Amino acid sequence: MHTNVTVQTEALVTKIRFNDTQAIGVEYVQNQETYFAGVRNEVILSAGAIASPKILMLSGIGDETELAKFDLPVVVNAPEVGRNLHDDLFISAGFSIPQAQDVPVYPYSLAPAVIFASTENSSSVVDIESSVGVGTIKGFPSPKHSFWLWPNVMHLKSKGTVTLRSSSPEEAPVIDPKYLTAPEDLQSCITALQLAIDIGNQSRLSQWRESQIAPEPGADLESYIRQTADTTYHYCGTCRMGIDESSVVDTELKVRGTSGLRVIDASVFPLPITANTAAATMMIADKGADIIIKSSDRA
């Protein structure tokens, strides 16, 4: 029980308010009423890789030409806010299971097994994390008698953007992930898909495999990937941390050009990471908490 913490639920933060470039608190809407929460020390923004850049831009921190489109007063011209959006891509290879086979039913799991591998585009790191499952897994619409390999392709080079759609906090921003715009990403996806196809067709799996159903044998892999590749919801990078002046936050997670404002969430990852993003986000949060405690000790 933390008696010094107040949690406001069902509250939409609409902007951070500044006195010049000093963050003094946040405005939020709750039950159609607007409130202001002032801060004694600092504002910590942790709205995730889509909403954190949106809130910064609504508050006047972003590319000044973008802010001008919506008549938003500029607090700091920070062109990188909302840029450097990166994500992993899910692709899939599916195989039918003979009807005579009893298929296992898992209560809830995307992946009873995971295969890690590396493409030639990234020999120094694991950049394929392939989940393996059967069609009966809850939430998957695939045929009951089928098994699937879902390579999550990581360390992709394509970088997207999050920009404002309007000056209204109620409106979702424009998310343009620019998937597969870097040519080597398509090559990585083809390698990962081919690996999944090869594994699914192994002779050791013959009692479980009737035929390859996706992609159909002989299908053009590029077209198949372009039609079926999907987000893994591993959005990161839109408030990039760095030691260079153009990065959005510095190595203490402070928003450059302001005081009293930090971003602590997946938006600060400068580069894609290996594997899923939740644990790394928690590590950022843990490290961020340490930084805050140390800086308040110094004050």
Residues of the shown chain interacting with ligand FAD in the complex, contacts defined by CB under 6 A: 11-13, 46-49, 51, 55, 233-234, 265-266, 276-279, 281
E-state strands within the chain: 11-19, 22-30, 33-38, 43-45, 61-62, 76-77, 89-90, 93-96, 113-117, 128-134, 146-153, 161-163, 174-176, 211-214, 230-231, 261-263
Q: Which is nearer to ligand FAD, 216 or 252 (CB)?
A: 252
Amino acid (one-letter) located at 121: N
Q: Which is nearer to ligand FAD, 103 or 110 (CB)?
A: 110
Write down the catalytic residue from 86, 145, 155, 234.
234
Q: Which two tokens stand for residue 194?
A: 């081919």
Query: Smallest distance from the beta carbon of 223 to ligand FAD, in angstroms?
Result: 26
Q: Which is nearer to ligand FAD, 62 or 215 (CB)?
A: 62
Query: Smallest distance from the beta carbon of 13 to ligand FAD, in angstroms?
Result: 4
Query: Smallest distance from the beta carbon of 94 to ligand FAD, in angstroms?
Result: 21
Counting every residue written for the chain, the total comes to: 299
CB-neighbour burial class of residue 2 (10 A; exposed 0-12, middle 13-18, buried 19+): exposed
Active site residue 145: no
Amino acid (one-letter) located at 285: A
Q: Which is nearer to ligand FAD, 13 or 164 (CB)?
A: 13
Query: Smallest distance from the beta carbon of 55 to ligand FAD, in angstroms?
Result: 6
DSSP codes joined into one string, 180-223: T-SHHHHHHHHHHHHHHHHHHT-GGGTTT-SEEEESPTT--HHH
Which residues participate in catalysis according to the annotation?
234
